Structure 1
Amino acid sequence: MEELVMMFGNVYANRRILVTGHTGFKGSWLVLWLQMLGAKVAGISLPPETSPNHCDLLGLDVESFHIDIRDEDLVRRKIVELKPEMVFHLAAQPLVRRSYRQPLETWATNVMGTANVLDACRQVEKLAAIVVVTTDKCYENKEWVWGYREIDPLGGHDPYSASKAGSELVASSYRRSFFNTPSSPLLASARAGNVIGGGDWSEDRLIPDLVRSVEAGKSLEIRSPNATRPWQHVLECLSGYLMLGQQLLEGNKPCADAWNFGPDREGNRQVKQVLAALKADWPTVEWHCCDTPQPHEAQLLHLDSGKAREKLFWRPVWTFDEGVAATAEWYRAWLDRGDVISLNQLQNYIKLARERGLSWAGDVLP
């Protein structure tokens, strides 16, 4: 893996990087990539909620601390002790339907948890950069046919969406109030679309629910087959986070702002279209529609990532079909053979990024 270290301008090599939420789906993929880049990674998170889970399957050698980010004192003490040079804050309550069942937990984790992490960061000397990861659902959804831009109003109907808008406001407030001197770390936020990929076993998510139904030999009940979302593979948004982190570590102050990382227009698909694409790669997939009344969820959501494309020169590597195929391949390898092919998929993704001329992928060293 040594030949891959020169990605992202080599800014992550030997740096102390803290990832909150490192035991989660996105967080575990991010740790895998950061370690490939030669970073010294530590993680703060709750223990994984599911068995199996991607974090344990990867078996990563990382300093891991099981801390609830709602615990202000423990969070502060551990972050100050770790002395990170950069923080990727991913820890959250990430599920819409759970937020209806547990609204106070959702608000406390997503808003006050973010505040606790950022306040602890104020005490860390030589901290250079912070990326707070939120979601496309932080926008006040008006069911527009065009994509939401970073300048559009924040909001949310359900506790999850609204609390993520709240975490964006926390990040903006800390950036303007506390991280506003020449010696302060640069703070940005990142908003991605509906993320798919291997290793996710979360509740009430389309792909994990489908995997469980395939494993049980059952048809999956679908709540909103016509709902449209910006679907993207997990590696796509992570490449955006890492590109953004690179700019912050290099001292690019205008990048200390909010950023969308979503798919191209062809990635905006209805749920039933995602399922049809999965079935093309995975014939045993079966589903049916549900007529039972459900809690409110937006039916139409698009992201406009023009800012990231223009100013960061970021763009997706895989097409929608390629991302879906990689997702199906991961789960089939796991279910059929017990294989965890995450590293192989990451390497293939990077190779294709180089072939397609993406700047962050760099060149293979001799």
Structure 2
Amino acid sequence: MFDDVYNGRHVLVTGHTGFKGSWLILWLKALGAKVTGIALPPETDPHHFGLLKLDVESHFIDIRDEKLVREQIRNIDPDIVFHMAAQPLVRRSYRSPLETWATNVMGTANVLDACRAAERLAAIVVVTTDKCYENNEWVWGYRETDRLGGYDPYSASKAGSELVAASYRKSFFSSVDAPLLATARAGNVIGGGDWSEDRLIPDLVRSIRQGKPVEIRSPMATRPWQHILECLSGYLMLGQKLIERDAAFAEAWNFGPDREGNRQVRHVLDAIKQQWPSAEWCDIGQVQAHEAHLLQVDSDKARQRMHWKPVWTFEEGIAATVEWYQAWLERSNVVSRAQLDRYVAHARARELAWAGSFTS
């Protein structure tokens, strides 16, 4: 896969104990990468990172600690960095705005500044979010050239991290032999192993365990839903291009679903209930903080220039998510690797170039 560029390479993943990060290190290990992680200890119990039981060198530090970040990155001396560590929750950002700004903006600056001294480093992928755009509630998707912004502290801080990345790319990573730096913006990500607070599917799974309906604030809100493996395939493709020293890819990229993946919250819940009849929800009609009603991203740039596209349909992504949680709740099985294998097999069947040949 990915022309075997990750096999044997030293890869640093910040935020590797989180939902996205844990799935990424699973995939990187399958690709033969030598993975090291920097993150805070997992905040939830259970957590996907622990369930995977992967042999990964982990350093539990706060990316707001400039000295420790600099020291660890110098010692690790990676070939490529995937920077995912962040405060990722909108409602938490209202409760803890300074933590959010410090982590997402200064934390990103600390990581990038430390990367300046990494001797072997060839590539950096900074993962942000589709919420970094100034949301005008447009019916069309936002493109990478649209204005950055953000209403809540989380969204605005992720726009800030985009500006930090752009500044470092121009100021410090612009020479011919400098690491290539790109940013990646994905939509609403679903999949097994997420137990974060105030997220739709983790809240629904908790409600199923408790035998009561999940309370929904904005069932009519529309978001671009995609399975976790979809955006990760984009991140890995982007990393491949940077490792191969193609400077044309050192910029911002959207990785979102096809138009059929833009669904209202209630449609997501109804799709889950079709496969998991015990899933129940109720509309409480109480939006406690500002939340956008309509958000879509345009991923035509990645489709046309990188030849990236989603593998699974909306329904297939929902089915995989339900399958994961049911396997864990009912049998204590962790099916992450099996789902990764199936996803790659489907990508090969659909003749996506990145999939190559795959042996599980």
Cα RMSD after superposing both structures: 0.6
Distance change (3 Å), C-alpha of 1:328 and 1:364: closer
Aligned residue number for residue 319 of structure 1: 313
Deviations 1:5-28, CA, capped at 9 Å, x for gaps: xx0000000000000000000000
Partner of 1:363: 357
**Alignment partner, residue 41 of structure 2:** 47
> Does the 8 A contact of 2:129 with 2:184 survive in 1?
yes
Q: CA deviation at 1:293?
A: 4.0
- Correspondent of 1:348 among 334, 342, 347: 342
**SS where residue 42 of structure 1 aligns?**
strand
One-letter code aligned to 1:301: L
| Partner of residue 75 from structure 1, selected from 58, 62, 69 | 69
SS in 2 for 1:363: coil
Residues 353 and 293 (structure 1 numbering): CA distance in 2 closer, same or farther, change over 3 Å?
closer
Aligned partners of 2:147 and 2:184: how far apart in 1?
Answer: 15
Q: Deviations over 1:204-257 (max 9, x none)?
A: 000000000001111100000000000000000000000000000000001000
Where does residue 3 of structure 1 map in the other structure?
none
Residue 291 of structure 1 deviates from its aligned partner by 2.5
Mapped to 2, the partners of 1:82 and 1:154 lie a distance apart of: 33
Match of 2:78 among 72, 80, 84: 84
- 1:303 paired to 2:297: yes
Give the alignment's TM-score, normalised by structure 2: 0.99
Q: Which residue of 2 aligns with 1:93?
A: 87
SS at match of 1:162: helix
**Matching residue of 2:260:** 266
Residue 286, structure 1, aligned to residue 285, structure 2: no
Helix, strand or coil for the counterpart of 2:82?
strand
AA aligned opposite 2:175: T
Runs of 4+ in 1 over 6 A off after TM superposition: none
Tell me, which stretches of 5 or more residues in structure 1 are unaligned? Answer: 1-6
Is 1:235 aligned to residue 243 of structure 2?
no
Corresponding letter in the other structure for 2:189: V
Q: Determine helix, strand or coil for the equivalent of 2:29.
A: helix
Q: Which runs of 5+ in 2 are unaligned?
A: none
1: distance between equivalents of 2:174 and 2:358? 38
SS of 1:225's equivalent in the other structure is: coil
Residues 1:123 and 2:152 aligned together: no
SS of 1:190's equivalent in the other structure is strand
Residue 171 of structure 1, aligned match among 165, 173, 177? 165
Matched-pair contact (CA < 8 Å) for 2:12–2:35: yes
The amino acid of 1:107's aligned partner reads: W
1:147 maps to which of 136, 141, 149: 141
Determine the C-alpha separation between the residues in 2 that align with 1:148 and 1:28: 28
Alignment length, in residue pairs? 359
Match of 2:205? 211
Q: Percent identity between the aligned chains?
A: 71
Correspondent of 1:200 among 177, 186, 194: 194
Q: Is the 8 A contact 2:218 2:287 kept in 1?
A: no
Structure 2 counterpart of 1:134: 128
Q: Distance in 2 between matches of 1:216 and 1:47?
A: 26
TM-score normalised by the chain length of structure 1 = 0.98
Look up the match of 1:186: 180
Q: Secondary structure at the match of 1:323?
A: helix
Question: SS where residue 41 of structure 1 aligns?
Answer: strand
